[in-house]
Amino acid sequence: MTPLPDANKKMIDNSTLTDIRRDMMKFAHLQLRDETLAEDVVQEALAAALSSAKEFAGRSALKTWVFAILRNKIIDQIRLQSRTSNVSSFSQQEESLDETFETLFKANAHWSPGHRPNDWGNPEEALRQQRFWDVFDACLKHLPENTARVFMMREFLEFETAEVCQELSITISNCNVILHRARNGLRNCLEKNWFTAGEQPC
């Protein structure tokens, strides 16, 4: 581990770094879907953060700073990959998500009664529960890789849709289709596994 400047040593010990690294890995892995690539960007981001002369006013400031660097490293990595892989490619998984979506409707394209979206009540309550985040995580991981990539660039890395298209060389309408697929897939997954399953009494 890179030695830290003295001033920070008191506050930023190894166990803090281990925790931060774990969360960085989780974030990077979710978006890159590749253990080795995730390791690489995390390592680069940590090294960049720790070698900078910046002084941190505590652990939170350090974490915010490394995550800002990590986002940029992830974006660089996505750019690199987009030159060699085709994000708009359509896998079996995407096809099955689309089929599931179609089953929600009657022939006239209105909701079929059993599949009408439910009232989620006061969903903000869920945001305070760790078990909700476990389900949310599982639902994100369940999205097909390319679908997830576009969705996370939009929602986690906060690109504008036009920028996502440009970075990944896909058309706006394709981008819209992919985002719709992702949102609906997530929505369905949450509805099935959290909101309908009820906020399960333990």
Partner 1 sequence: MLSCKEVTHLLSEAQDRKITLPERVNLEMHLAMCKGCKNFKSQMSFLREACQRYVKNQEKIDD
Interface residue list for partner 1 (CB under 8 A): 16, 19-20, 23, 26-27, 59-60, 63-64, 67, 105, 108-111, 116-120, 123-124, 127, 133, 136, 154-156, 160-161, 176, 179-180, 183-184, 186-187, 190-191
DSSP 12-23: --HHHHHHHHHH
Q: How far is the CB of 14 from partner 1 (least distance, A)?
A: 15
Instruction: Report in angstroms how near the CB of residue 67 gets to partner 1 at its nearest.
Output: 5
Burial 100-117 (b: 16+ CB within 10 A, else e): eeeeeeeeeeeeeeeeee
Rounded to a whole number of angstroms, the minimum distance from the CB of residue 84 to partner 1 is 26
Residue 111 three-state SS: strand
Q: Give the 3-state secondary structure of 22-73.
A: HHHHHHHHHHHCCHHHHHHHHHHHHHHHHHCCCCCCCHHHHHHHHHHHHHHH
Name which of 83 and 127 has its Cβ closer to partner 1. Answer: 127
Residue 41 beta carbon to partner 1: minimum distance, rounded to whole angstroms: 14
Let me know the angle formed at the C-alpha of 47 by 41 and 49, rounded to the nearest 5 degrees. 100
Tell me the closest approach of the beta carbon of residue 134 to partner 1, in angstroms. Answer: 12
| Residues facing residue 105 across a β-bridge | 111
Half-sphere exposure of 81 (CA within 13 A, CB side): 19
Cβ closest to partner 1, residue 90 vs residue 120: 120
CB nearer to partner 1: pick between 39 and 191? 191
Are 184 and 101 in contact by the 8 Å Cβ rule? The answer is: yes
Instruction: CB nearer to partner 1: give 37 or 190.
Output: 190
Is the CB of 84 or the CB of 175 nearer to partner 1?
A: 175
Least distance in angstroms from the C-beta of 10 to partner 1: 16
83 or 108, CB closer to partner 1? Answer: 108
Burial of 2 (0-12, 13-18, 19+ CB in 10 A): exposed
